A and B are shown apart, each in its own frame.
Chain A
Amino acid sequence: MQTTAHRIAAPTRFSPPWRRAFWFGVLIIAFAFAFLQTAKPPDWMLDLPREHWLPLQAGISAAMKWLVETANFGLFTFSEATRFVAYLLDQPLALATAVFAHGFTQGHGSAAIELMPPLPWLAALLAACAIALHAGGVRLAVLAAGAMGYLIVFGQWQSAMQTFASIVIAVPFGVVGGLLLGIAGHRSARFHKALMPILDAMQTVPIFAYLLPILFLFGFGPVAALLATIMYALPPMARVTLLALSAVPTELVEAGRMAGCTPRQLIARVMIPAARAPLMTGVNQVIMLSLNMVIIASMIGAGGLGYDVLASLRQLDIGGGLEAGTAIVVLAITLDRVSQAYAKRALEVRRRGALRYRWVLLGIVVALWLAALKIEPLRHYPESWTLSTGVFWDDLVEWLNVNYFDSFEAVKTAILLKFMIPVKRFLLAQPWPFVLFCVMAAALSIAGLRRAVIAGIFVLTIVFTGLWQPAIVSVYLTGVSVLLAVAMGVPIGIASGTRPRLWKFVEVMIDTLQTLPSFVYLIPVVMLFRVGDFTAMFAIILYALAPAIRYTALGIREVDPGVIEAATAMGATRMQIMLRIRLPLALPSILLGINQTIMLALSMLVITALVGTRDLGQEVYIALVKADVGRGLTAGIGVAMIAMIADRLMMASAVRMKRRLGLG
């Protein structure tokens, strides 16, 4: 009904001559700043002197301090509230940790007596296989057996179970919380309006930045880590819920209403069941994101595999880091496949049977558990039975470094000297008023006045909080990484977009890349290239490559087949079809992919701080180590602001382009 009311936008030409001339001029000025000694701007334009900074950092720190020390809601103080939340989270977490990792004990420290050992490894192995068999058949069961086997044999068991315990608690909280927020947002337009910017912010502010307030409010420990994990994994679930509910066919909702559903029945008995397919992907996302947080959460007190990786990374113990990292991957892949198999089952099988023989299974598990009280090898997998490849990896790295050091070094140095450092110098030579002007001009021409003003405010905030130089370094590191990721990803996407068999292979590759927790990328790269910008860039590219490929392939593939047929009928060659039809029509999709790549690159930025970058990420990391909330939060917000500017501009141009092509 409303389509006719929708006003058709006046056609915009691709690039009017004056616009092209304008940006050409801007480019010339930028080069002048970079290469002409006479054009060197005054120092305050390159880095604002400290006396002009706004006291934002100190303000935030003071506010946090006030919250913790004096804030009072009348009946209870703020810190009492946080302690209450911590207590609520601690109960299930402690139980899960006891069941899976530590066993039930009485007393503390060395005086503790073990009342009940944790779930024995053999029982867990059996249970995992049975569940996998039930969910997805023999192949999945073999995968689960292999995964559990790896964790057991390579001595990762205890850590893995500790990590698993926190996942087991974090996922239900994330799923239920996201679901409730999503439902509330669906039912109230006003709540929806308030929720969206919060979700946006939670997904653009790097995770590290909100580790800080959590650390400050909840202290160092597993509960703080759990809370951070939930906060990280919950927003996508809320978003998926909102989307899924609004995608339920109108007729179905009407059918529910005509049947006389109350609003609550409508949600619970019509809309959620009808939306269960996308909701399942949301659950899967929560699981994967929780696992993604494993290493990061270990920085504020989660033990387990994350801590092992972090510790190895800090000691440059490549073998140990690789094994623990692999353990995370193994856990992630197993949970991912099993949860996906269950989701598929729920959609396909007519009468969903419960796990057959579940009582038998439970009996065996309990029997093994009791047996573990008496039988030591069952209680703890004997250390003498474990394997380690740590030495092998250390040797391999040593061998590579002895034999190929020069080649690696040559590649690294060449890219650094010929590409990365020039870009960095070029960007650092630009005075901030000029950058401000460029950003606002770009925003104005792409996204309109409001966005331009907001972008301007963001840039000024970064300048006046003294974060200009690290921000520019962030832009440079993200920029070079995205550039290379796009240069690799788009051609791969184009090549695989029209070749289903190649796509199958590529899809498995990028799925795997996306399943891995972001930290894992650092390990092999550090092995070969040691610390520094090059390593950081390499890891960012690996992490951020997937969407560039995926969206390009998607765009190429989804071009209207009618148009392709028409072109073929006109006698266009394959090449002509690709260059003149598929590529232009896929451009909006490619832009979205690049946008995603930028977002992922920015979120990886903080993680690469571990390998010694000098950007906003490093600011956050240092603040985390020093528990300096103001500094960390400001730098985190800085990253978020860069992300938001990039996101809005890319999205706006994708939308504009889509409209021009008549695609939406």
Chain B
Amino acid sequence: MTLLPDDANKLSCRSVWKLYGEAAGNFLGARASPPTPEEIRSAGLIAAVADVSIDVRAGEIFVIMGLSGSGKSTLVRCLSRLIEPTAGQILFDGRDLLAVPEKELIEIRRHRMGMVFQNFALLPHLSVLDNVAFPLAIQGVERSRREARAREMIDLVGLQEREYYLPRELSGGQQQRVGIARSLAVGPELWFLDEPFSALDPLIRREMQNEFIRLQGLLKKTIVFITHDFDEAVRLADRVAIMRDGRIIQVGTAEELIVSPADDYVANFTRDAPRARILSARAIMRAATGTAQVAGNVDADTKVCDFAAALEAASQPFAVIEHGRVIGLVDRAAVMAVFVGAGLRER
């Protein structure tokens, strides 16, 4: 394939549709331009995924966020071709997954993809060790090799000494560690996580998120992460895609979503986000007019929470510095606005 839009993209999808209902396939094939939601509804169809195009860069954590029923789970299943999309293109390293024959798809899944599921999806009859070794077992890897590899993975997720437990003897958090270890056993390049922490208690969820960040620091996988929790999204993501009614409304970093939400729906999500930790000096600075008195300097990418205390103690604004040049000023009022949650738009 020579049509690579960007060499850095590990996974791209172009105008992916998943329609449910009778004759869904013919419906799209028969028209030149993409249908409107009204046209879909009047044809008696339901669009779980509608005209989605995204690019996931190599080594990034790409989070797809949406409420239940927004189509995010369907989308990730289309990306892994667990569900056959009605139309569109899915490029994995430039190769169209939808055109790949069944045999090759199995090979891709065996060596290059991994997936973690919301409800863990562990095989109830196999021990932790056998569960983690399962993807290797079905490839026909011999026992001693696959068990050695599985032990490595079990160590990685911190479940040593529990190799011979059955899934139901483990807590939810431990079960999901097994799920993670299993999905990593084949050393995948592309890692799908479908709401991996949603079934866990808040405290455990937090712990698992930290664990996940630690793992990604070690592994540097390309990740597609699904969640319905905006806090989780901004904690983990390099970039977030917000989904609603099967469509992607906006893609951007957490900061971009807060600073310039595409619509009220996105703005609603961002309202209660921990802004001080997401917004940087750049986002709240005002233009530096003339020569003002400054109490200090702050780098443009520094998060608000990291300089708020220093600024509060000072009597003068700080200069915002990028590449050694002053590009603006931040003052106490701007920081205060971040903490009290005043609208950013008005500024």
A-side interface residues toward B, CB under 8 Å?
A: 1-2, 4-5, 249, 251-252, 254-255, 257-262, 265, 269-270, 273-274, 276, 350-351
Contacts and interface: CB of A to CB of B under 8 A. Distances in A.
Contacts, number: 80
Nearest to A263: B102
B280 interface: no
Contacts of B138: 259-262, 265, 269
Contact of A252 (B114, B123, B182): B123
Nearest to A269: B138
Contact of A254 (B21, B44, B74, B121): B121
Interface in B89-122: 106-111, 113-115, 117-122
Contacts of B164: 350-351
A254 B82 contact: yes
Contacts of A351: 164
B139 interface: yes
Given A269-B134, A269-B138, 13 more contacts: A251-B119, A251-B120, A252-B121, A252-B123, A255-B115, A257-B82, A257-B109, A259-B134, A259-B135, A260-B111, A262-B138, A273-B126, A276-B125
B46 interface: yes
Interface residues of B, number: 42
Closest 6 CB pairs of A and B: A260-B110, A255-B121, A259-B135, A260-B109, A251-B121, A258-B115
Contacts of A259: 109-110, 134-135, 138, 182
A247 to B, nearest CB: 13
Given A2-B20, A274-B125, A276-B125, A254 B109 contact: no
Contacts of A274: 123-125
A5 B43 CA distance: 11
A265 B80 CA distance: 19
B166 interface: yes
Interface in B127-155: 127, 134-135, 137-139
Given A259-B138, A260-B107, A269-B138, A5 B121 contact: no
A461 to B, nearest CB: 35
Given A255-B115, A350-B164, A5 B109 contact: no
B254 to A, nearest CB: 28
B335 interface: no
A80 to B, nearest CB: 41
23 contacts: A5-B20, A249-B119, A252-B121, A252-B123, A254-B82, A255-B182, A258-B109, A258-B183, A258-B192, A259-B110, A260-B107, A260-B108, A261-B138, A269-B134, A269-B137, A270-B123, A273-B125, A273-B126, A274-B123, A274-B124, A350-B127, A350-B164, A350-B166
A258 B117 CA distance: 11
B277 interface: no
B121 A4 contact: no
A423 B123 CA distance: 57
Contacts of B134: 259, 269
A265 B164 CA distance: 23
A355 to B, nearest CB: 20
A269 B82 CA distance: 18
Nearest to B44: A5
A271 to B, nearest CB: 10
Contacts of B110: 259-260
A2 B127 contact: no
B228 interface: no
A254 B125 contact: no
B48 interface: yes
B47 to A, nearest CB: 10
Contacts of A5: 20-21, 44, 46
B130 to A, nearest CB: 11
Contact of A258 (B44, B80, B122, B124): B80
B286 interface: no
A251 B118 contact: yes
B77 interface: yes
Interface in B4-25: 20-21
Given A255-B121, A259-B110, A262-B106, A1 B74 contact: yes
A222 B127 CA distance: 45
Contacts of B127: 350
B77 to A, nearest CB: 7
A260 B117 contact: no
Contacts of A260: 106-111, 135, 138-139
A255 B126 CA distance: 14
Contacts of B80: 258
Given A254-B77, A274-B124, A2 B119 contact: no
A638 B237 CA distance: 68
A254 B82 CA distance: 7
Counting chain A CB atoms within 10 Å of each CB, which of B106, B114, B169, B192 scores highest?
Answer: B106
Contacts of A261: 106, 138
Given A270-B123, A273-B125, A274-B123, A258 B46 contact: no
A584 to B, nearest CB: 32
Given A251-B117, A254-B117, A261-B138, A1 B20 contact: yes
Nearest to A260: B110
A199 to B, nearest CB: 27
A5 B46 CA distance: 8
B125 A258 contact: no
A273 B125 CA distance: 7
